[in-house]
Amino acid sequence: MVLFFPIQQELDCISDSGLILGKIKFNGAKEMYQFFPDNESIVLEGEEEANIIERLAGLASGKYSIPMQDDD
């Protein structure tokens, strides 16, 4: 399982053991959400990868959103 924690219009992707796997960010140039690994040496397990792919698809379809931060 992967937890998704919003920070500054990004989602931290955290494994159930507490390891930060990476971030999901919106790439304005490509107009799509992308996963950026925290460390290139991290290898995602099958369930973690499936959770991240599902979240990316949900963000693209509008099923999920990333809350915007109000700096006021």
pLDDT at 69: 65
CA distances from 64 to 1, 6, 14, 47, 58 (A): 17, 12, 17, 19, 5
Average pLDDT per block of 10 residues along the chain, 72 residues long = 78 92 90 91 91 95 81 54
Task: Note the pTM of the prediction, 2 decimals.
Answer: 0.81
Phi, psi values for residue 50, rounded to 5°: -65, -40
